[in-house]
Chain A
């Protein structure tokens, strides 16, 4: 095992701890804006994990889409509608048991599925995934899926406009 792998393991541990703490704080805090900001740390952690795996394109996309767009829209929406300082008592507490149950079930199913299919696969990372390789794969092998997703997003966009229009 090379030195680089040791460094990777150390950083994986650090990032994982930060992500876990942020994820827990994200669901336990009673302040909606704080929850969104904790979520930023979770997404940043997952981007860092992708860099450790050598998938730079996915990492940068994670930052651009999740931190730069989705969280910004979250915060924008929350601040535009109810930007109360301090804790918000209306953040549901009676539904917590149900939410915890769903979370545990989801984690169990996904964990089992991942473990079942990949437990004996070893991921070999010799060098980072080149950007060109990713785009070649998207636009040749997965072109049908890519176009289908584009159409789906367009439909969602039009649907949102239809719902939002008053007349």
Chain B
């Protein structure tokens, strides 16, 4: 019981009642999901992509169009919430919330500083992987509940893809877990911060160096898990309109949209924790109180960097065909990640 309910050992928080700490955590979690998602949409989707396509992107709302997000949110909120007549009302209406809940639960395991975490649990990354698989049910609910063939085909494609790429995603993490000897994300960060490269402890030992194959597999599988472009068969607009989101409008479409980018942000954060050292930057002592303040900012910086990769891929590569997509997962990524686990385990025992 205690590990789930443990209260953050912040000096300021120590005197607060349980419900107060819980409220602070809920607000921090909301901020961590929504602010990061907003940053990604503005910096990457609005601006970076515009420059890649030789245009300016939003420029009217606020300086450099920075208030465009608020305008878009307002637009979506005003739109009519249309529910198809033959749709299964309850399933149709709940589906976006199931997807969003899985994203919000993911953020719970993330550490953002030596004392700044939601829960510090032995299960850590295992919990994250379990929770992230729940979103598939939301997608299936959306696809089936819409009573539209485009939605159904989109939902089925999405599920086939998510099942296929969940395996390499999980297996790529195992290499890091073996090397760090723990699943707790906070301990994984500390292991990297206190590690040494052949006796040189200048930059710690970020696992991207030793687990480079794992990192590559993780990022590719992540791209597919987020159904971003080389893997966007489920929402292929030339065939399926927008796949399982076809019948959604207004607020419920906005929820799916937020879910997509928030999940990109949270998974980038998990990748940053696993491979780039999380909230730690070289030069400071890992136990320093200062990290409670700059840690979240460092983590967001790494998230923006990693999601830059995701969006760069998204706007560079053409779409995979369904059979190519399944082949990549089952024939290349899974065997490679198994080999990675084997080699890591052997080296771990020998060292």
Q: Which residues of A contact B (CB under 8 A)?
A: 4, 33-34, 37, 40, 51, 54, 56-57, 60-61, 63-64, 67-69, 71-73, 75-76, 79-80, 83, 85, 125, 127-128, 130-132
Give 5 nearest A-B pairs by CB, closest first: A68-B133, A64-B130, A131-B122, A63-B130, A75-B140
Contact A128 B156 (CB under 8 A): no
Q: Is the CB of B133 within 8 A of A69?
A: yes
Task: Judge whether B88 and A67 touch: CB under 8 Å.
Answer: no
Q: B123 on the interface (CB 8 Å rule)?
A: yes
Count of B interface residues, CB-CB < 8 Å = 32
Minimal beta-carbon separation of A146 from chain B (angstroms): 17
Contact assessment for B129 and A125 in the assembled complex, using a CB-CB cutoff below 8 Å: no
Mark B127-171 against chain A: 1 for CB-CB distance below 8 A, else 0.
Answer: 101110110110011011001000010011001100100100000
Interchain CA distance A79-B147 in the complex, whole Å: 11
Q: List 20 A-B contacts (CB under 8 A).
A: A51-B4, A54-B1, A56-B4, A56-B121, A60-B123, A60-B126, A63-B131, A64-B126, A64-B133, A68-B166, A71-B137, A75-B137, A75-B140, A75-B159, A79-B144, A80-B156, A83-B152, A127-B1, A128-B1, A128-B4
| Given known contacts A67-B137, A128-B4, A76 and B123 CB-to-CB distance under 8 angstroms | no
Given contacts A33-B91, A61-B130, A83-B144, contact A72 B1 (CB under 8 A): no
B183: Cβ under 8 A from any A Cβ: yes
For the A-B complex, the count of residue pairs with Cβ-Cβ distances under 8 Å equals 83
Question: A57 near B2 (CB under 8 angstroms)?
Answer: no
Q: Main SS of the interface on chain A?
A: helix
Would you give the shortest CB distance from A45 to chain B, in whole angstroms? 14
Chain B residues in 8 Å Cβ range of A54:
1
Contact A72 B4 (CB under 8 A): no
Closest beta carbon of chain A to B106's beta carbon, Å: 12
